[in-house]
Structure 1
Amino acid sequence: MSGSSRSPPELELVTESPADEPGSRPLLFVHGAYVGAWCWSEHFLPAFADRGYTAHAVSLRGHGDSGGSLYTAGIDDFVADIRRTVERVDRSPVLVGHSMGGVVVQRYLQRYDAPAAALLASIPPQGMTGLTFEFALRDPTTWLQFGVLQTVGPGLTSPRVLRRALFSPDLPDDRVERYGRLVQQESPRALGELSGPVVTGRVPNDVPTLVLGAGDDAIVPSWATDATARAFGTDATYVPGVAHAVMLDTGWERVVATLVDWLDGIGATAG
């Protein structure tokens, strides 16, 4: 039974539009766990608007300023949120999902059409089991900190530990601290579903798909990114020197440049 209510929740949609008439297909950015649309507003939305794209970012239910219950929301509810948002914008957008948002986009693509999709530091179709085990062994202190975040909220989140998990060593301390104040708890139901296979069966190989890995990702290692790429019948592209939070970390400009090159290559500028 779905965790969604009878009346779908209101969803926060943040949009940056180009100064001139848009000449490119719109983009819809889907965030990962513990954050909201704000993570795209910092750099990505204005950067893509400057390049002629209408760039949208949605906060999934229970995240950011969206309505709905965080604690009963599951992955299928997040898929429904993407679907409602796609129907809300003017033209069918290219979907860009990060981390948990990447695997939500993967499940969306099994059910609905999309002109193209980019999966950034995405959880692989098989879910988090192997990733969590590897992460816990490699850095148990940071792994336990995520448990603190989930249990009591962001108030006791250590910026130092947050940096180890999500950011590069050279990201300024004030930015790490500011982002730490903006993170939130995640849906227990969604986290439970992520612990096992999330996307089973075939994914559409006819949808142009970019699978992009962060070269210094402490959460999603290269073997997991490669697994996602294999599922989509493509090769992974890696941006070196970037940590898991690719939209906020130092080097975010190189991630944008990689996305723009890919969008040009698939003809997204033609809309």
Structure 2
Amino acid sequence: MRLIRFDDWASPVPPVRREVRSATPELDEGKPPVLFVPGFGHGAWAFAEFWLEHAAGRGFPAHAVSPRGHGGSGTAPKASLRAYAHDVVQAAASLPRQVVLVGHGAGALVVERALARYPARAAVLAAPVLGGWATFGAAVRRNPGGTLPAIFGGRLRLSRRQLFSREVPDAVAKGYVGRLGRASARAQWQLLLHRAPEPAVGDPPVLVVGSPDDRVVPPSALTSAARRYGGAPLLFPGMGHDLMLDARWREPIDAILDWLEKGGS
């Protein structure tokens, strides 16, 4: 871990109103809190639909943070990935026990950055978009009209077909797509020019989950991400990119919580 980060000293991340949604168990069973981090365009609402209450029902205090510029958090049109990771670290540090970080999509990349600054109990990378031109190339092939504008500072637009399986009714999927916002142009560029993250503090166990039918993240990317942490991805065939909103949303969250109950290994 780097002890001194020049950027943090010379250019501190400015404060912003931060949205955190929570669901807590009826009885405190001593299980670790889980902090969910959404990907670009999504907010805490994406986990509040199903996963927060479900995790709480299984005894896990569950929270979801909207990084600045997303959901109900304060606007930040020039936010960087460092600022997003700062929001995650601040939200995690505000909780009473050591947190499990769960990042979805580009939120997985934010979680990787946060792990270098916060000693998480464990981490989960769900349908991780970990950046680089290979990831961008795959997105262009599947959705050129929604992806190419991001190169020039425009909004990255993901389609219903990319995000959801056919099991999700069109009206429901359209409603979710209509709620999507946008990441800053700066963060989008940093995603493309992504460099390997710093090592995680404390070497926490990391689980990678996703779908081989994801039209945003190819199976090879899931395998590569899992290998970096010494494992194999846990796959859920037939699901779209937005695992937490798809018709079979219970399967991945139950698998994640089962993994945590077994010690996160």
Give TM class, smaller chain. Answer: 0.7 to 0.9
In the TM superposition, residue 131 of structure 1 has moved relative to its aligned partner by 1.9
* Alpha carbons 2:119, 2:200 under 8 Å: kept: no
1:134 aligns with 2:138: yes
The one-letter code of the counterpart of 1:258 is A
In the TM superposition, residue 228 of structure 1 has moved relative to its aligned partner by 1.1
Match of 1:39 among 37, 43, 46: 46
In the TM superposition, residue 109 of structure 1 has moved relative to its aligned partner by 1.6
1:219 aligns with 2:216: yes
**5+ unaligned residues in a row in structure 1: which ranges?**
none
Residue 148 to residue 195, structure 1, CA distance change in 2 (3 Å): closer
The one-letter code of the counterpart of 1:145 is G
For residues 15-73 of structure 1, the C-alpha deviation after alignment (integer angstroms, 9 at most, x for no partner) is 0011222431110000001111000000100110111111000000111111141x211
* Alpha carbons 2:119, 2:202 under 8 Å: kept: no
Q: Which residue of 1 aligns with 2:112?
A: 106
Q: Which residue of 1 aligns with 2:3?
A: none
**5+ unaligned residues in a row in structure 2: which ranges?**
1-6
Identity of aligned residues (%): 34
Q: Distance in 1 between matches of 2:33 and 2:127?
A: 21
Q: Which residue of 2 aligns with 1:56?
A: 63
The one-letter code of the counterpart of 1:181 is G
Q: Distance in 2 between matches of 1:173 and 1:203?
A: 40
Q: Which residue of 2 aligns with 1:191?
A: 188
Q: Distance in 2 between matches of 1:119 and 1:24?
A: 20
In the TM superposition, residue 111 of structure 1 has moved relative to its aligned partner by 3.0
TM-score (norm 1): 0.86
Q: Which residue of 1 aligns with 2:94?
A: 88
Q: Which residue of 2 aligns with 1:13?
A: 20
* Alpha carbons 2:160, 2:174 under 8 Å: kept: no
* Alpha carbons 1:107, 1:199 under 8 Å: kept: no
Q: Distance in 2 between matches of 1:93 and 1:6?
A: 22
In the TM superposition, residue 201 of structure 1 has moved relative to its aligned partner by 5.4
In the TM superposition, residue 198 of structure 1 has moved relative to its aligned partner by 3.4
For residues 158-200 of structure 1, the C-alpha deviation after alignment (integer angstroms, 9 at most, x for no partner) is xxx7221110012111211110221012211010000022324
Residue 33 to residue 18, structure 1, CA distance change in 2 (3 Å): same
Q: How many pairs align?
A: 257
Range moving further from structure 2, 191-200 or 48-57: 191-200
Q: Distance in 2 between matches of 1:148 and 1:175?
A: 26
Residue 21 to residue 229, structure 1, CA distance change in 2 (3 Å): same
1:229 aligns with 2:235: no
In the TM superposition, residue 148 of structure 1 has moved relative to its aligned partner by 6.5
Q: Distance in 2 between matches of 1:42 and 1:257?
A: 15
1:242 aligns with 2:239: yes
Q: Distance in 2 between matches of 1:201 and 1:111?
A: 9
Give SS of 1:175's match: helix
Residue 6 to residue 130, structure 1, CA distance change in 2 (3 Å): closer
Residue 7 to residue 186, structure 1, CA distance change in 2 (3 Å): closer
1:67 aligns with 2:74: yes
In the TM superposition, residue 241 of structure 1 has moved relative to its aligned partner by 1.4
Matches within 5 A, 1:111-130: 111-124=117-130, 127-130=131-134
* Alpha carbons 1:36, 1:63 under 8 Å: kept: yes
Q: Distance in 2 between matches of 1:54 and 1:200?
A: 28
TM-score (norm 2): 0.88
